[in-house]
């Protein structure tokens, strides 16, 4: 019995040491991966990297990790130019991506995920930059401009349109739908405002409707869907053979 008790103690101690070694190793790997992603994506701050699953050491020995989560606080995505010569980049907040089947090199210099899904937010003040920044003449003496975006409820965006007629201004709220078309986020008015003067739909939609391309996201993930929310539009992304580093 004493020998068995001693054996059990040794097993427990060795198991504890293995757990400690495993956690130290995973912490080291997370830091190395975070630094590599920061360099590869040219990020201003170091992202959060969390390697899931236990034990890590057996995953590392195989050269493939089951599940890796990456969090980027602020990401400046390339856009080209938006409507009316808009911004070259757009800030994407709280990008969180879940990577599955991540194969990596021994020195962590390269890593590729079989699949990736994630979520992020584009704040309304950022998306507003895609709208025309200057008032548009709809008719002689009549100008209109998008001056605000906010949550309209039920997955809609409330677009505030300021209309100026002969020097007098009035703001009209317009509920709009937001959709994804390829790499572009599009805002489309559900119903056009009844203005002081009657205008062809195409004229007023030149103001109410706008879009913003997002050409480049981390690792090559793509836009999947978008929905209006309290603090901005929430996007989902997905991809396959996503290159994290190298």
DSSP structure class, residue 173: E
pLDDT reported for residue 18: 44
Report how far residue 162's alpha carbon sits from residue 145's, in angstroms, rounded to the nearest whole number. Answer: 5
pLDDT at 81: 58
Which residues are within 8 A (CB) of 133 and not within 5 positions of it... i.e. 6 or more apart? Answer: 84, 86
The pLDDT value recorded for residue 22 is 65
| 67-79: pLDDT as tens digits | 999 999 989 988 8
> Residue 155 is encoded by which pair of tokens?
């997955």
Residue 47 DSSP symbol: P
> Given this model, what pLDDT does residue 9 score?
47
Q: CB–CB of 202/192 below 8 Å?
A: no
Going residue by residue through the chain (246 aa), what tens digit of pLDDT does each one get? 554 444 444 444 444 444 566 667 788 888 888 888 888 888 888 999 998 877 888 888 888 888 999 999 989 988 875 444 555 889 999 999 999 998 887 666 678 889 999 999 999 999 999 887 788 888 788 888 999 999 999 999 999 999 888 888 889 899 999 999 999 999 999 988 776 455 666 778 888 999 999 988 888 899 999 999 999 999 999 999 988 765
Instruction: Give the separation between CA 214 and CA 89, rounded to whole angstroms.
Output: 8
Spatial neighbors of 15 by CB under 8 A, at least 6 apart, are none
Question: What local confidence, expressed as pLDDT, does residue 111 receive?
Answer: 82
């Amino acid at each position: 019995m004493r020998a068995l008790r001693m054996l059990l103690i040794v097993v427990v101690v060795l198991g504890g040491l293995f757990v400690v070694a495993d956690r130290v190793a995973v912490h080291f790997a997370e830091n190395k991966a975070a630094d590599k992603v920061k360099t590869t994506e040219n990020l201003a701050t170091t992202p959060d990297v969390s390697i899931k699953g236990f034990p890590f050491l057996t995953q590392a020995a195989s050269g493939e990790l089951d599940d890796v989560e990456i969090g980027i606080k602020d990401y400046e995505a390339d856009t080209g130019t938006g409507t009316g010569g808009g911004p070259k980049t757009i800030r994407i907040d709280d990008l969180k991506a879940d990577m599955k089947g991540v194969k990596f090199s021994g020195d962590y210099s390269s890593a590729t995920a079989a699949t990736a899904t994630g979520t992020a937010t584009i704040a309304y003040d950022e998306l507003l930059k895609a709208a025309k920044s200057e008032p548009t003449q709809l008719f002689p003496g009549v100008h209109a401009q998008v001056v605000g975006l906010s949550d309209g409820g039920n997955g809609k965006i409330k677009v505030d349109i300021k209309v100026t007629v002969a020097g007098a201004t009035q703001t009209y709220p317009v509920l709009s739908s937001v959709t994804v078309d390829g790499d572009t986020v599009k805002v489309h008015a559900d119903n056009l405002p009844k203005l002081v003067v009657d205008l062809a739909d195409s004229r007023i939609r030149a103001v109410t409707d706008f879009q913003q391309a997002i050409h480049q996201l981390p690792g090559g993930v793509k836009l999947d869907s978008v929905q209006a929310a309290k603090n901005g539009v929430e996007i989902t992304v997905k991809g396959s053979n996503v290159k994290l580093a190298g």
